[in-house]
Structure formats: structure tokens, C-alpha cells
């Protein structure tokens, strides 16, 4: 809460007694709401006061008014209609605010004194379940962190779907592991203990891709004993052994604290939170934020959004549930052979059985988002149309079951054993609700005729009332002789008789004038008024009874929450697997061979994104072979734009797709499982953190070298280009030697560089091999063949690439002359001419040297020292010492 605004508008507690009873009630509710904006129900509006009103009026762009003054200070006030409040609340949540809903708990017309009110729910960025706020194929996670000196627990939940998971780290660098998992999950809101027992690196961390609100939560909620009781009460179990987290105190603390917070904010039974998944991060491939960004897994560099990302390319799911699951798989590639082979087997069967796959996907396309319908059902906010969508989805289950039971792969057969037809749930909805209910329960006509006798009777009375009105209108026309007389209704005046002014002389004496219009007058009669009271009372009773019956239906449906959730899980897996099969068929992917070896062999591999997004140019496939014993490091050279970075990303994406169980874009693939992909590609800075481009490059490289493993895959592009030539070349040289050194890791590595001197390492390091991106020259032009082949490139073709970029011809010509000077200077101690009028051209000798050598500078310095000697002035002893020094320098040269 803004302290300045509070000081201006919030009265001292001692002054509350001077307020009206309603405002006293408001302040009691505001004390419970704390920092949340309090939506205080008053009739047909939610009102906000004081600093809440000031903040909300700015955020929602609505008028700020005021009510009675307190000590000569106006009370700021704004409000929104209750029937459209959800849209305003969603806008506030999207801006990071919390909203507390204070509802009237009784009918104001029946209240003896002040209407009873209380907070029924607090909506936060991490607990919202509104469809207009949530992306259909993305989770909305609320997370919590429990910490100790030796480790941490990290739990997250999606209140809208019931997804609930937890992990923990002990005895390792938990801060780094926590940062990686936090960036992977991307929670909207994070609970942290108050006070913090230890500094936490992720607070205030600029991820660049998502924003999380950190919510302090009292430390006692994180006590393992209290958290344990909270969890076993929620799941109605005696121990947590069945969830895999028994004995993991930090995991229990994080999950229990999270559940306490959800209970406090939602104030519901949370029947859809029936299970907790404990997982070890070591079972999944490590992908840090840099790697996810470089590989464009979820966000494209070109579109700056989802379009053109890897997920966009492979997401052929037809349900929101399947889309969320596929996104989870892509964020957590598996490092365990058995589950991967099971997924592969299911995908392979669906690839081969095209008719079955087509039938399955057509049926799934008619299935609604059961997880989020169930979430809103458990929270008491489900709409009638959503329950009808649930019934229609259940109607598709027989077709899906038929397909599933015809499958033979172990994973699909296992799903079939857990199948549930949900027939009783569909029957209840069909009996209770009409086929096409209105958007809102308050519109009425939701409960099906014949479901409840009393409701049918009340409706019949309303129907007879309409018939009475029609008969009354006909009688009055006949009695008064006014054929244009009509019976009408509006919400302000109720029912009335409308008479045109031309016929006013014919109005009977028992008519009572109610309203005057330009061309007519409106009247009532005692009989019409009595009938209006009866009809409106009956209408209120109908709406009230429908509300009660609807709530009873929802309570009955909520008892089957676990069954609905289990079926939703099965359907989401079927959707994700059939989507991968669809991609494999339409894009001609192959099934990769996976094992625990160190082999990475790809035949005619293709880039999954580029071959789809840039179809105007035929994609050229390339082969790759890496292992730890012979071909550990491939040193890639070649000009810019020739495809080195594309090739490197292509290899990583093929590995990643294989380890989510997908087929891959290649003719044949053999992958020894990778436990982590490291990337250092492209140039960018982090000036907000005081880091230059080169500093970011070195930081990312250091992270790779410190965390590399024997099963890792390393992609390094242009190491050392952010500093001077000799500095950068030396660093790149040393990095390759470090990766090659026999210290136990020896990761499979692709290393792209423009330092052609590094190609000499292939002669001295047995597991380093030179490869290059092939180009062909045509006059002064170059043609990119997009082919990677063995051997090193002879030069970088930088000036030719500059020409393609459109540099002026004069600049290109000057660059050619300077290049000739620089190349020839590598054999002398003089610098090339900087005179822009120089007309020197490359000599035949210099054309054989297209790049400065790492050792040319040393040779030049040695020659310079030798030429500068004044032999006549040297004594015999000094001459011998100088000669010995020069010999030592020469011996150090290769």
C-alpha cells in the first residue's frame, strides 16, 4: 500500500468511531484484506475507498469520486458494476495487483440491521482462474520456497488446473539449482518466508521473459510439522509416502506453506487438489535460461513471441490440456531411458496407425478444457455452459476409448487400464441442466424442466402470469375502445398500460398516471399492480431456487473431482502423443535410437524451425557425429551467414526433441542421452547489471566450464570475439584445450569460430576435428551451399558478406586495400597505411595469408628485435647474452 496515499486518506483508528456503521465494517474488512484492493459490495456495485480507490481508478481508467468528508477531507471513492466486475478484476490482476472480494452474505431486504459482509476470496496473480486472464495452453503457477543453510524446497501449483508439484535440493549449490527451476517454471507469484532466513538471489532477478510477484508469507507456515499436517489433511492420508516426499522436510515445508496460502486466499475446499508430484531435477535435462533463449524453445527472436518458436512448430495439440502438457515436456526433457522409450513407442504406434490417429484427434478436438472446468467447479465459480461443455466432452469418450483399446504399445495400454467413462457425471448434468443455458446463472432458465417439481410450479405460475397479462391487455382494449393500448414493462416502473396522447380522453377513472412520455402516457391499475407483485415475487423465487439447485448439482459433481482429473490427465497425454505423431508424419521425422552410450550420430539432420518457417529456400540437411573418445570436439569454420550457428542449433534441437519422446527431423539418428545442453551463441549485453557484451560472453562461458558434465552437449559460437584479436584468440584456444583435457568430463562439443589459427589444434589434440561451412566463389561473389563438411575454411569472406549487407562500394574497395595491407603486415613490423588515399593492392604473396596468425606477432617482434641491434656498440659478453635471449624466444615458437 502506498504510504503517502495512506497518510492522506486513511483515518487514525481512534477516528473510526466517528464513521457510519457501514464504514466501520469497511475498515474491519480492509484490515483482513491487507495490501489487496478491497472490492466492497454495496447493492449492485463493488465500491473501493481511500487509497484503494485512488490506485484502482488509475489502473482501470475510471472516474474517482468522493463521499462524505472526514475532518474536512473527502473520502476518495470509485466503483464498478457487480455484474461486470470480473473484467475489471482481470485487468487489475494482469497489472500485478491483488483483489479481495467482500460480498454481501444476506439479502439487504431481509437484513435486520447492517447487511452482513465478509471476504469470500482473495484473487492474486498466482491464484486467478479467469479464462480472460489465463492463456489456454499455458499454466499459471503460484510457487513457494523453503530454505535452509544446506538446501531448499521449491513447490508450485496451478490453482486453475490442480497441477501440484514439489522438488528439493540438499548438499549441493541449491541457489543455482533453484534459479534454474524458477526460470523453467516461470511462476506469476512466489511465496517466500518472512523474515527471510537467508539471502535469496532470485528476488529482483531480471529474467527478461516473465515477471513474478514475491509475496512474503509468515515463517510459521514453512515449519515442516505444520506443513505436514496441512498436506495430510488436504489429501486425507496418514503419511506422505505415497507422494514420494516423506522425509523430505524442505519439500514438505514448501508444499505445505503453498497450500496454506491457497486455502487462505480461496476459502474453498479445493477438491481438485488431490495429489502432489515429487520429482528429482536430476531425472530431467538441465536447460538454463540462456539455452532456452538461444534455442528459441518458447519465444522466437524474429517474432519476439510464440510464433516461430520450437513449441509453435511442434504443437499440433487440439486441446488446451494437451498443449499445456506438451509445453511441460519441452521445458523438462527426460534423462531416463524407460519413460522415453515408452513415449516413443506410443508415438510410433500412432504414426503407423493413421486411421486410428485421425479418429482420435477428431474426437479430442471436441473435448473442452476439463482441468480448468474442474478448477472453477471446485472453487465455486463454474458457469452453466462449462458444465454442459463437460457433458458434451464426456459424450466423445466412447470413441476415444475404442481407439485407445485398439492400441498395443505399453504406455497406451497402461492409460487404457485407468479409463473412466464418467457416465454418471454426464447423466447428472443432462438431467439437471438445459442443453443451451444462458451465459450467467442470474439470467435464469438454467435448470431443465422436470428436474424439480417446485421449480416447475413456480415457472408455471410465471407462464400463467404472462397469459394473464395478454388477456388483461385484450380486456382493457375492449373496455376502453383503444386498440393501440398495450401492456409493457421496465425495471424502474414495473408493468404499465401505455396510452397514446390522442386517446387520453378515453382513459378510465381507475387508471393511475405513472409516467409521461412525448407521445404517450403510462398508467397502472390496482389489478395490474397486484399481479406485478405476485409475478416478481415468483420470479425471485425461481431465481433463488435455481441458484440452490445449481449449487447442489455442483456439489455432487465436485465429489467426482478426482475421477474427472484422472481422465483429464489421460486425455492430455493422448493429445500430446498424437500431436507428436502428427508432426512426425507431416514433416517426415524419423524415430531416433536412444541409449546410454556417448554417441551422437545424425544422418541428414534438418533444423525443425527453419525448414517450416523459411520454405522459399530448400533446406540442406547435414550429418553429425560426436562421441567422447574420437570425435569429441568439432571445430567449425566458415564465413558469416554460411550456416554454422544454424547447424549447431539444429543438432541441439534434434537432441532435445528426442528426449521429450518425439520423432526428429533427420533420416537416421542415434543419441546417447544428454543430461544438459549448454549454449553460448550470439552477442548481447546486460548494461542494467553493469555487464558489457564481452563480460556476458565470458560469464556464460564460465558457467559452462564450471558445470559441464560427461553427458553434456556444448555449443560455443565465436568465443573471444568481444575483445582484441590476440586476447580473444588466446581465450578460445584455452577453452578448447580445457574441454579436451582428460579430466573426466570430455563433453561432446560444437565450437564455431572465425579464428582460423585454432584449426591447428586438430593436429595436436586427438579428439578435435576440423569442419567447415562450404561456400563457392563466383567472381567477387560467394554462394552459400549450407553444407558442413570435414576440413577447415581458408578464409572468412567478411568483405563479400559486407557487400551482401549493402555497404557502399567505396567502403568495400577501401576495405579490400586495407585487408591487403593487414595481410602483408603480418610479415613485417610496419603497420598498414591508414591513408584513405592509399592505392596499394594485395600482392600475390600476401594473398596466400587471409588471416592474422596467432604466432606472426611473435615472429615479427623477434625480427624487429634482431634488426634493431647495433652490433658495433655491443661488447662480446652483451652480444652473447643477446644472442642467447633471441634463441630462447625462437625456441618458444612452434
Tell me whether strands 213-218 and 189-194 are parallel, antiparallel or unpaired: parallel
Q: What DSSP letter does each residue of 237-295 carry, written as one string?
A: -S-SGGGT-TT-HHHHHHHHHHHHHHHHHH-S--TT----EE--GGGB-B--HHHHHHT
The predicted model scores a pTM of 0.84
In this prediction, residues 436-442 reach a mean pLDDT of: 88
In a domain, 24, yes or no: yes
In this prediction, residues 200-217 reach a mean pLDDT of: 80
- Residue with more model confidence, 203 or 713: 713
Instruction: Kindly report which listed range (143-157, 259-273, 576-590, 877-891) carries the lowest average pLDDT score.
Output: 877-891
Last residue of a domain, one of 770, 796, 822: 796
pLDDT digits (tens, 9 = 90+) for 652-691: 999 999 999 999 999 999 999 999 999 988 655 444 455 6
Query: What pLDDT shows up at residue 830?
Result: 41
Rounded CA separation 210/475 (Å): 69
- Residue with more model confidence, 271 or 890: 271
The answer on 609 and 717 residing in a single domain is yes
Is pLDDT at 725 greater than 70 in this prediction? yes
The answer on 114 and 29 residing in a single domain is yes
In this prediction, residues 33-43 reach a mean pLDDT of: 93
The answer on 482 and 464 residing in a single domain is yes
In a domain, 712, yes or no: yes
Query: Residue 34: left (phi > 0), alpha (psi -120 to 50), or beta?
Result: left
Closest CA to 358 of 315, 329, 400: 400
Distance, C-alpha 323 to centroid of its chain: 11
Average pLDDT in the chain: 86
Per-residue cell: 415 = 492409460
The answer on 71 and 117 residing in a single domain is yes
| Rounded to 5°, angle at Cα 521 from 520 and 525 | 145
Query: What pLDDT shows up at residue 8?
Result: 38
pLDDT digits (tens, 9 = 90+) for 212-226: 889 999 999 999 999
The answer on 461 and 364 residing in a single domain is no
Instruction: Kindly report which listed range (185-199, 213-227, 462-476, 602-616) carries the lowest average pLDDT score.
Output: 462-476
Is pLDDT at 4 greater than 60 in this prediction? no
Is pLDDT at 17 greater than 60 in this prediction? no
Rounded CA separation 497/255 (Å): 65
pLDDT above 90 coverage of the chain, percent: 55
Query: What pLDDT shows up at residue 849?
Result: 39
Per-residue cell: 15 = 477516528
In a domain, 764, yes or no: yes
In a domain, 293, yes or no: no
In this prediction, residues 709-722 reach a mean pLDDT of: 87
Last residue of a domain, one of 240, 268, 283: 283
Indicate which CATH number applies to the domain containing 780: 3.40.50.300
Strand ranges inside 302-424, DSSP E: none
Is pLDDT at 850 greater than 60 in this prediction? no
Is pLDDT at 38 greater than 50 in this prediction? yes
Query: What pLDDT shows up at residue 683?
Result: 58
Query: What pLDDT shows up at residue 322?
Result: 97
Query: What pLDDT shows up at residue 206?
Result: 66
Whole-Å CA distances, 206 to 88, 145, 290, 432, 687:
28, 18, 13, 51, 12
Is pLDDT at 11 greater than 60 in this prediction? no
In this prediction, residues 546-573 reach a mean pLDDT of: 94
pLDDT digits (tens, 9 = 90+) for 133-156: 899 999 999 999 999 988 999 999
pLDDT above 70 coverage of the chain, percent: 87
- Residue with more model confidence, 812 or 710: 710
Is pLDDT at 208 greater than 50 in this prediction? yes
In this prediction, residues 242-267 reach a mean pLDDT of: 94
pLDDT digits (tens, 9 = 90+) for 286-333: 998 889 999 999 999 888 888 999 999 999 999 999 999 999 999 999
Query: What pLDDT shows up at residue 493?
Result: 81
Query: What pLDDT shows up at residue 843?
Result: 38
Count: domains in the chain: 7
Is pLDDT at 616 greater than 70 in this prediction? no
Percentages helix, strand, coil for the chain, rounded to the nearest 5? Answer: 45, 20, 35
In a domain, 520, yes or no: yes
Query: What pLDDT shows up at residue 536?
Result: 81
Is pLDDT at 21 greater than 80 in this prediction? yes
Is pLDDT at 249 greater than 80 in this prediction? yes
**Do 482 and 521 contact (CB within 8 A), yes or no?**
no
Last residue of a domain, one of 71, 94, 123: 123
- Residue with more model confidence, 70 or 332: 332
Is pLDDT at 837 greater than 60 in this prediction? no
In a domain, 241, yes or no: yes
Indicate which CATH number applies to the domain containing 397: 1.10.1420.10
The answer on 379 and 258 residing in a single domain is no
In a domain, 324, yes or no: no
Residue showing cell 490427465? 569
The answer on 714 and 657 residing in a single domain is yes
Is pLDDT at 842 greater than 70 in this prediction? no
Determine the straight-line distance between the first and last CA of the chain, rounded to whole angstroms: 69
The answer on 639 and 567 residing in a single domain is no
3-state secondary structure 124-161: CCCCCCCCCCCCCCCCCCEEEEEEECCEEEEEEEECCC
Which range marks the domain in which residue 488 is found?
453-554
Closest CA to 669 of 753, 605, 765: 605
In a domain, 503, yes or no: yes
Rounded CA separation 608/664 (Å): 8
Is pLDDT at 889 greater than 80 in this prediction? no
Rounded CA separation 201/512 (Å): 76
Query: What pLDDT shows up at residue 851?
Result: 43
Query: What pLDDT shows up at residue 486?
Result: 92
Rounded CA separation 139/764 (Å): 51
Rounded CA separation 338/347 (Å): 14
Instruction: Kindly report which listed range (18-27, 102-111, 113-122, 847-856) carries the lowest average pLDDT score.
Output: 847-856
The answer on 431 and 356 residing in a single domain is yes
Three-state SS at 639: coil
The answer on 575 and 719 residing in a single domain is no
The answer on 106 and 148 residing in a single domain is no
Query: What pLDDT shows up at residue 260?
Result: 95
- Residue with more model confidence, 609 or 1: 609
Confidence of residue 828 (pLDDT cuts 50, 70, 90): very low
Q: Count other C-beta atoms under 10 Å from residue 681's C-beta.
A: 20
Is pLDDT at 176 greater than 50 in this prediction? yes
Query: What pLDDT shows up at residue 796?
Result: 66
Distance, C-alpha 605 to centroid of its chain: 29
Instruction: Kindly report which listed range (170-174, 522-526, 619-623) carries the lowest average pLDDT score.
Output: 170-174
| Highest averaged pLDDT of the listed ranges 12-21, 446-455, 593-602 | 593-602
The answer on 874 and 847 residing in a single domain is no
Instruction: Kindly report which listed range (213-227, 487-501, 792-806) carries the lowest average pLDDT score.
Output: 792-806
Indicate which CATH number applies to the domain containing 214: 3.30.420.110
**Do 718 and 648 contact (CB within 8 A), yes or no?**
no
Amino acid at each position: 500500500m502506498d504510504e503517502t496515499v495512506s497518510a492522506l486518506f486513511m483515518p487514525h483508528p481512534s477516528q473510526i468511531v466517528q464513521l457510519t456503521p457501514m464504514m466501520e465494517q469497511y475498515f474491519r474488512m480492509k484490515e483482513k484484506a491487507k495490501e489487496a484492493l478491497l472490492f466492497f459490495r454495496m447493492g449492485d456495485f463493488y465500491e473501493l475507498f481511500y487509497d484503494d480507490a485512488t490506485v484502482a481508478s488509475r489502473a482501470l481508467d475510471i472516474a474517482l469520486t468522493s463521499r462524505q468528508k472526514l475532518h474536512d477531507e473527502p473520502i476518495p471513492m470509485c466503483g464498478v458494476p457487480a455484474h461486470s466486475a470480473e473484467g475489471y478484476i482481470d485487468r487489475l490482476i494482469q497489472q500485478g495487483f491483488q483483489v479481495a472480494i467482500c460480498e454481501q452474505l444476506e439479502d439487504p431486504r431481509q437484513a435486520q440491521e447492517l447487511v452482513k459482509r465478509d471476504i469470500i476470496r482473495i484473487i492474486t496473480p498466482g491464484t486467478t482462474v479467469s479464462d480472460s486472464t489465463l492463456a489456454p495452453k499455458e499454466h499459471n503457477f503460484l510457487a513457494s520456497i523453503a530454505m535452509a543453510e544446506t538446501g531448499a524446497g521449491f513447490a508450485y501449483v496451478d490453482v486453475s488446473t490442480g497441477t501440484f508439484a514439489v522438488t528439493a535440493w540438499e548438499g549441493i549449490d541449491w541457489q543455482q539449482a533453484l534459479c534454474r527451476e524458477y526460470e523453467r517454471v516461470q511462476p506469476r507469484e512466489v511465496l517466500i518466508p518472512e523474515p527471510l532466513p537467508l539471502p535469496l538471489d532470485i528476488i529482483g532477478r531480471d529474467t527478461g521473459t516473465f515477471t513474478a510477484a514475491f509475496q512474503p508469507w509468515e515463517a510459521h507456515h514453512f515449519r515442516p510439522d505444520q506443513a505436514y499436517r496441512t498436506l495430510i489433511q488436504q489429501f486425507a492420508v496418514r503419511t506422505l509416502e505415497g507422494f514420494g516426499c516423506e522425509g523430505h522436510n524442505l519439500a514438505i515445508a514448501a508444499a505445505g506453506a503453498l497450500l496454506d496460502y491457497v486455502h487462505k486466499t480461496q476459502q474453498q475446499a479445493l477438491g481438485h487438489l488431490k495429489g502432489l508430484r515429487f520429482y528429482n531435477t536430476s531425472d530431467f535435462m538441465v536447460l538454463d535460461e540462456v539455452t532456452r533463449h538461444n534455442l528459441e524453445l518458447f519465444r522466437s527472436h524474429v517474432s519476439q513471441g510464440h510464433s516461430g518458436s520450437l513449441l509453435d512448430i511442434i504443437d499440433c495439440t487440439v486441446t488446451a490440456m494437451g498443449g499445456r502438457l506438451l509445453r511441460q515436456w519441452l521445458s523438462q526433457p527426460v534423462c531416463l531411458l524407460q519413460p522415453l522409450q515408452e513415449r516413443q513407442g506410443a508415438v510410433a504406434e500412432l504414426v503407423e496407425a493413421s486411421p486410428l490417429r485421425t479418429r482420435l484427434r477428431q474426437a479430442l478436438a471436441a473435448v473442452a478444457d476439463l482441468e480448468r472446468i474442474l478448477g472453477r467447479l471446485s472453487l465455486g465459480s463454474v458457469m452453466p455452459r462449462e458444465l454442459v461443455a463437460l457433458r458434451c466432452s464426456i459424450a466423445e469418450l466412447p470413441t476415444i476409448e475404442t481407439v485407445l483399446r485398439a492400441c498395443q504399445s505399453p504406455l497406451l495400454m497402461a492409460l487404457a487400464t485407468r479409463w473412466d467413462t464418467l457416465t454418471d457425471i454426464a447423466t447428472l448434468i443432462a438431467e439437471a441442466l438445459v442443453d443451451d443455458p444462458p451465459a450467467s446463472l442470474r439470467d435464469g432458465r438454467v435448470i431443465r424442466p422436470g428436474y424439480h417439481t417446485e421449480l416447475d410450479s413456480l415457472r408455471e405460475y410465471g407462464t400463467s402470469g404472462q397469459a394473464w397479462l395478454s388477456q388483461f391487455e385484450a380486456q382493457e382494449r375492449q373496455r376502453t375502445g383503444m386498440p393501440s393500448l398495450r401492456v409493457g414493462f421496465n425495471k424502474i416502473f414495473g408493468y404499465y398500460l401505455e396510452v397514446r396522447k390522442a386517446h387520453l380522453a378515453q382513459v378510465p377513472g381507475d387508471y393511475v398516471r405513472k409516467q409521461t412520455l412525448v407521445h404517450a402516457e403510462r398508467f397502472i391499475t390496482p389489478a395490474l399492480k397486484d399481479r406485478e407483485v405476485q409475478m416478481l415475487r415468483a420470479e425471485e423465487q425461481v431465481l433463488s431456487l435455481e441458484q440452490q439447485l445449481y449449487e447442489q448439482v455442483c456439489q455432487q459433481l465436485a465429489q467426482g473431482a478426482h475421477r474427472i482429473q484422472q481422465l483429464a490427465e489421460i486425455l492430455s497425454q493422448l493429445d500430446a502423443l498424437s500431436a507428436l505423431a502428427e508432426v512426425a508424419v507431416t514433416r517426415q521425422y524419423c524415430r531416433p535410437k536412444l541409449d546410454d552410450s556417448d554417441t551422437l550420430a545424425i544422418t541428414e539432420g534438418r533444423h525443425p524451425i527453419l525448414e517450416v518457417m523459411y520454405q522459399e529456400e530448400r533446406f540442406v540437411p547435414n550429418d553429425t557425429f560426436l562421441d567422447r573418445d574420437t570425435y569429441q570436439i568439432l571445430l567449425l569454420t566458415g564465413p558469416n551467414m554460411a550456416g554454422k550457428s544454424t547447424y549447431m542449433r539444429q543438432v541441439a534441437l534434434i537432441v532435445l526433441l528426442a528426449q521429450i519422446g518425439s520423432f526428429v527431423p533427420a533420416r537416421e539418428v542415434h543419441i546417447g542421452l544428454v543430461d544438459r545442453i549448454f549454449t553460448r551463441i550470439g552477442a548481447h549485453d546486460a548494461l542494467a547489471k553493469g555487464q558489457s557484451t564481452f563480460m556476458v560472453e565470458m560469464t556464460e562461458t564460465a558457467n559452462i566450464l564450471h558445470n559441464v558434465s560427461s553427458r553434456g552437449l556444448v555449443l560455443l559460437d565465436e568465443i573471444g570475439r568481444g575483445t582484441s584479436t590476440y586476447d580473444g584468440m588466446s581465450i578460445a584456444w584455452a577453452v578448447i584445450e580445457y574441454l579436451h583435457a582428460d579430466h573426466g568430463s570430455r563433453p561432446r562439443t560444437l565450437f564455431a569460430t572465425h579464428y582460423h589459427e585454432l584449426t591447428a589444434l586438430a593436429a595436436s589434440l586427438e579428439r578435435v576435428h576440423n569442419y567447415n561451412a562450404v561456400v563457392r566463389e563466383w567472381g567477387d561473389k560467394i554462394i552459400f551451399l549450407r553444407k558442413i563438411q570435414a576440413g577447415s575454411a581458408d578464409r572468412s569472406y567478411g568483405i563479400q558478406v559486407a557487400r551482401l549487407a549493402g555497404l557502399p562500394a567505396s567502403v568495400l574497395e577501401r576495405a579490400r586495400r586495407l585487408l591487403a595491407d593487414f595481410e602483408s603486415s603480418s610479415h613485417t613490423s610496419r603497420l598498414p597505411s591508414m591513408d584513405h588515399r592509399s592505392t596499394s593492392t594485395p600482392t600475390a604473396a600476401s594473398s596466400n595469408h587471409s588471416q592474422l596468425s596467432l604466432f606472426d606477432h611473435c615472429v615479427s617482434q623477434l625480427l624487429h628485435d634482431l634488426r634493431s641491434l647495433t652490433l658495433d656498440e655491443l661488447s662480446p659478453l652483451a652480444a652473447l647474452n643477446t644472442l642467447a635471449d633471441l634463441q630462447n624466444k625462437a625456441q618458444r615458437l612452434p
